[in-house]
Amino acid sequence: MLAAARDAFAEKGAQASLEDVARRAGVSIATLYRNFPTREDLVEEVHREEVEKLCRAATEFGDLDPWEALAAWLRRFADYIGTKLAFADALNRATDSFQACRKAMRDAGGPLLERAQRAGGARPEPTIDDPLRMFSGVSTIEYVDDAQRERVFALALAGLRAAPGVDPHGNRSPYSKSP
């Protein structure tokens, strides 16, 4: 039912009919309502499931180079934002569930950023909230085409990447060329 809801929301927005969701899931509308008494319950559960997938991805990238792990997770985060846009208007941001999801994302991404910072791959000054906000913005605007979307994503990553010759504390190496 959640996959059907996610597909319906992606196609028709948060106002997709619950009858359409039930039809896509191959269940009766009564079964859908028995599991999700309100539209808000269904939207919240789809959101929670998407956040869980995003958080699991953080551990999947643990074997990668610290910078590559962070970049791969931020790609997943950007994809999550794209999915979330389909039903964002229907999410109640004041619920405990929504707040728990926000915390879970920060808890999943924070260690990836810190690991990349310690390894000298990411700039030392950002906290996880900074790239999450940046990539949320990058993910919510309209692009001319996919190539432009990829260029902007690459530019955002470049802004997060540590400059060559700078140590994890932000100090320029005495062996690097001066800017």
User: Both 74 and 94 in a single domain?
Assistant: yes
**CATH number for the domain that contains residue 23:** 1.10.10
Strand partners, 122: 161
- Tokens standing for residue 151: 């260029």
CATH code of the domain containing 134: 1.10.357.10
Three-state SS for 64? coil
Clarify whether residues 54 and 5 are in a common domain: no
Domain with 33, as residue range(s), is 1-37
Is 120 domain-assigned? yes
Asked whether residue 72 falls in the same domain as residue 152, the answer is yes
Task: Specify if 174 maps to a domain.
Answer: no
66-76 CB burial, b ≥16 within 10 A, e <16? bbebbbbbbeb
In-domain check, residue 169:
no
pTM of the model: 0.82
For the segment 96-148, what is each residue's pLDDT rounded down to a tens digit?
Answer: 888 899 999 999 999 999 999 999 999 999 999 999 999 999 988 889 999 99
